[in-house]
Amino acid sequence: MSGTKPRNKISDNASMEELLRAVQERYGEVPLIARVLGEHRPEILASGMEKSFRLMREGALEPRVAELVALAAAVALRCPPCALSHMRRALASGANRQEVLDAVLIASHVAETSSLAVGLRKFLEASAAEEECALGCGVERRDE
């Protein structure tokens, strides 16, 4: 039928309530993402949570390691709510405080060196362009 929406995997409130209860149990809260998607795009939430549960519990990494990886990614991507959630999950999955701290420090170091790599490449590109410009392109150089 033209103009009708395809049926969602989760089509009734009871199923969504079950999913949100599972999220609450897993994370100790219902994160903003789950609340908004649960209300507006339940099928996206359902598929995302399925992926999350499978990756974090059924993948090649034990849950403790998977949570430390997720923590590191959250730190590097600067998401405080995600970092806190994954920090709690890492500790609950058996990580110790030193492992959590090292994950934070390694993520911060990688984020810093990644930013430096991008910035220094652009610095070198700009320097090379400036040298080419010296042949008379009309751009004035501002020295310190």
Task: Give DSSP secondary structure letters for 55-79.
Answer: HHHHSSS-HHHHHHHHHHHHHHTT-
C-alpha angle 47-52-56 in degrees, rounded to nearest 5: 155
The pTM of the full predicted model, rounded to 2 decimals, is: 0.73
Q: How many CB atoms lie within 10 A of CB 47?
A: 14
Tens of each residue's pLDDT in the chain, 144 residues: 444 443 344 445 558 888 898 888 888 889 899 999 999 999 999 999 889 888 888 889 999 999 999 999 999 999 999 999 999 999 999 999 999 999 999 999 999 999 999 999 999 998 887 776 666 666 665 665
Is 36 domain-assigned? Answer: yes
Return the sign of the alpha-carbon dihedral for residues 101, 105, 106, 111: positive
Is 3 domain-assigned? Answer: no
Please count the CA atoms within 13 angstroms of the CA of 36 that sit on its side-chain side. 3
Q: How many CB atoms lie within 10 A of CB 16?
A: 18
Query: Which structure tokens are listed for 9?
Result: 């995997």
Overall number of domains in the chain: 1
Give me the domain span that covers residue 19.
9-59
